Chains A and B, each alone.
Chain A
Amino acid sequence: GAGVSQSPSNKVTEKGKDVELRCDPISGHTALYWYRQSLGQGLEFLIYFQGNSAPDKSGLPSDRFSAERTGGSVSTLTIQRTQQEDSAVYLCASSPQANTGELFFGEGSRLTVL
């Protein structure tokens, strides 16, 4: 499709396991963002990419979280040694360029850590 695609849509994992979440942005969009939406919370910024580089990683909650983007397209968010507090919906968004504020969001990956 033409929109932002995220996979998996749902992931249940055991505490301590590693998980990878994938984002396919809209073709041609140079900026890509990861946010986290927890129950009763707003959208928490995690990281953004301009091309393949990440100028702002300030939102990553701990060193268990990492993200990469390759070919200026697909991005992967990796959470190592998951904890229960990592349970949330992880949202990816892309934009034709950074700093426009006009983001196109995917439907999210719901992560549940047991």
Chain B
Amino acid sequence: GDSVTQMEGPVTLSEEAFLTINCTYTATGYPSLFWYVQYPGEGLQLLLKATKADDKGSNKGFEATYRKETTSFHLEKGSVQVSDSAVYFCALSGSTDKLIFGTGTRLQVFP
């Protein structure tokens, strides 16, 4: 069945460092891919999405490119801030109506 694998955390960075959180997927057909973020004490919210191969989703300085050849959707940000500290979830919407999530990666950014 469809699945998502993302790198384990926590990821610990200094402010202004470059961020990469890896995400790969297994799916039949052509899924849509998503990154959700959960800030401390808040509900999950959609960060960005891409619906077809080579699409780049972007929001709040974060980017992710849908790579069909490597079945990946890695999240990147050029310069992280303390306020980016959160748990990030990669997810896919494929052959069924449910959204399938990875296990989440905690990001901690220190000043």
What is the size, in residues, of chain A's interface with B at 8 Å between Cβ atoms? 27
Asked whether A4 lies within 8 Å of B97 as measured between CB atoms, the reply is: no
- The reply to whether A91 and B44 form a contact with Cβ atoms under 8 Å apart is yes
Choose one: B43, B97, B102; the contact of A106 (CB below 8 Å).
B43
- A residues with a Cβ closer than 8 A to B are 3-4, 31, 33, 35, 41-43, 45, 48, 50, 55-56, 59, 91, 93, 98-108
Tell me the chain B residues, 65-111 only, with Cβ under 8 Å from chain A. Answer: 89, 91-93, 96-104
* B97 engages A105 (CB within 8 Å): no
In the assembled complex, 23 residue pairs joining A and B whose CB atoms fall closer than 8 Å, in A order, are A3-B43, A41-B103, A42-B89, A42-B102, A42-B103, A43-B44, A43-B104, A45-B100, A56-B96, A91-B44, A93-B44, A99-B97, A100-B93, A101-B34, A101-B91, A102-B34, A102-B46, A103-B44, A104-B45, A105-B45, A107-B41, A107-B42, A108-B43
- List, in ascending order, chain A residues with CB within 8 A of B96's CB: 56
CB-based A-B contact count at 8 angstroms: 56
Contact A101–B43 (Cβ < 8 Å):
no
- Asked if A98 and B103 make an inter-chain contact with CB atoms under 8 angstroms apart, the answer reads no
- Alpha-carbon separation in the docked complex, A101 to B32 (Å): 7
A101 to chain B, nearest CB (A): 3
Collect the chain B residues with CB atoms within 8 Å of residue A55's CB: 97
Please report the C-alpha to C-alpha distance between residue A33 and residue B43 in the assembled complex, in whole angstroms. 14
Q: How far is the CA of A110 from the CA of B100 in the complex (A)?
A: 21
From B41, B99, B103, A101 is in contact (CB under 8 Å) with B99
